[in-house]
């Protein structure tokens, strides 16, 4: 019988794996490349998951065969077919016994970690974005997160697209000058907006490349650039709209509701979290917006412990909190 569980957080930029003992001690952490298979394909996703797991188990000094359960929370996993693809990867890698492999989208583990298993709503604001809520009875709902072409509001990629639009409008003379024009030229390694058509549609731009402009927008907003401020404010409102939609669907809109934002864009500057919180409270006056308690990889570990038949009690949560900065 295994003596630890694996929590895996697979994103569009990197993959984190955490080995966690049955008592809640974090034994080891590993990091791999992107594992959103919509972006990188199944083969590369599998390789990067394996790399993260190998690093986590090696750091912990445990054998891969001793894992009692694994839970994989993966970006881009929304359909039954998506879940089967990830489950097949877990089976090929022999991460855990077949009946103790859990798969869901990354919002599920972000909520489990952010609120330590309590019901509520999580809003991911990273390379992409999505919102997920779950009630005490297990009813859940997802809003947003439908991909960079039609959704991903407020994310790094979304802000990057809007930064390029602002740069073009400023160059054309349709809007006032903005330092985002120079930032876009630098990020795309071009000397003039006249080259942007070729750079985007011939050379090509990946989601990850576009998302690097997100933190630039946040920095410019904090410096007071109005074009950047408008982008950040609109992103905050549109993510808050997703939260409100989930709250209405799950019957949480008229009473106290915990909301937890997570994701890399929150690290770009306090203006993102502050504007998001203000927008949520405008739409849901009784909501409480709070910082995540545990990172998503440890949220996955909480769900893996449940799969292993372990009751996640206060003592286990205390140990997880003590090690959260390692993950």
| Band (7; pLDDT cuts 50, 70, 90) | very high
CA 212 – CA 153 distance, rounded (Å)? 15
pLDDT at 194 over 60: yes
pLDDT the model gives residue 1: 56
Bridge partner residues of 198 (DSSP): none
Q: Is the pLDDT at 278 greater than 70, yes or no?
A: yes
Average pLDDT over residues 95-122: 96
Lowest mean pLDDT among 147-151, 180-184, 190-194, 288-292: 147-151
Domains in the chain, start-ordered, CATH in brackets?
Answer: 4-116+294-326 (3.30.420.40), 118-292 (3.30.420.40)
The backbone torsions φ and ψ at residue 72, rounded to the nearest 5 degrees and listed phi first, read -110, 115
Question: Which H or E element spans position 259?
Answer: strand 257-262
pLDDT at position 147 is: 82
CA distances from 38 to 18, 84, 129, 153, 225 (A): 23, 14, 15, 18, 35
Residue 63 CB coordination number (10 Å):
11
Q: pTM to 2 decimals? A: 0.90
Q: How confident is the model at residue 281 (pLDDT cuts 50, 70, 90)?
A: very high
Q: What is the pLDDT of residue 282?
A: 97
> What secondary structure does DSSP assign to 15-51, as a single string?
EEEEEEETTS-EEEEEEEE---HHHH-HHHHHHHHHH
Would you state the pLDDT for residue 316?
96
């Amino acid at each position: 019988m295994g003596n630890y569980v694996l929590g895996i957080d697979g994103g569009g930029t990197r993959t984190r794996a955490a080995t966690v003992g049955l008592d809640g001690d974090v034994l080891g952490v590993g990091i791999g490349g992107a594992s959103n298979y919509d972006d990188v394909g199944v083969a590369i996703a599998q390789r990067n998951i394996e790399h993260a797991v190998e690093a986590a188990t090696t750091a912990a000094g445990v054998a891969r065969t001793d894992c009692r359960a694994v839970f994989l929370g993966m970006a881009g996993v929304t359909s039954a077919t998506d879940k089967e693809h990830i489950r097949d990867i877990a089976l090929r890698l022999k991460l855990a016994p077949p009946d103790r492999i859990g798969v869901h989208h990354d919002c599920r583990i972000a909520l489990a970690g952010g609120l330590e298993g309590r019901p509520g709503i999580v809003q991911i604001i990273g390379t992409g974005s999505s919102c997920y809520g779950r009630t005490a009875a297990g009813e859940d709902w997802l809003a947003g997160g439908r991909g960079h072409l039609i959704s991903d509001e407020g994310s790094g990629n979304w802000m990057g697209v809007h930064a390029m639009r602002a740069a073009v409008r400023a160059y054309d003379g349709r809007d006032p000058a903005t330092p985002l024009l120079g930032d876009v030229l630098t990020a795309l390694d071009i000397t003039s907006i006249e080259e942007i058509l070729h750079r985007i549609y011939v050379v090509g731009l990946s989601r990850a490349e576009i998302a690097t402009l997100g933190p630039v927008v946040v920095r410019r907003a904090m410096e007071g650039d109005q074009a950047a401020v408008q982008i950040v404010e609109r992103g905050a409102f549109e993510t808050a709209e997703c939260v409100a939609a989930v709250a209405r669907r799950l019957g949480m809109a008229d009473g106290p509701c915990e909301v937890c934002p997570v994701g890399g864009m929150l690290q770009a500057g306090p203006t993102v979290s502050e504007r998001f919180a203000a927008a949520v409270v405008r739409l849901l006056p009784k909501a409480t917006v709070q910082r995540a308690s545990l990172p998503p990889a440890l949220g996955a570990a909480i769900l893996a412990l449940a799969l292993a038949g372990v009751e996640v009690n206060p003592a286990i949560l205390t140990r997880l909190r003590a090690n959260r900065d390692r993950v």
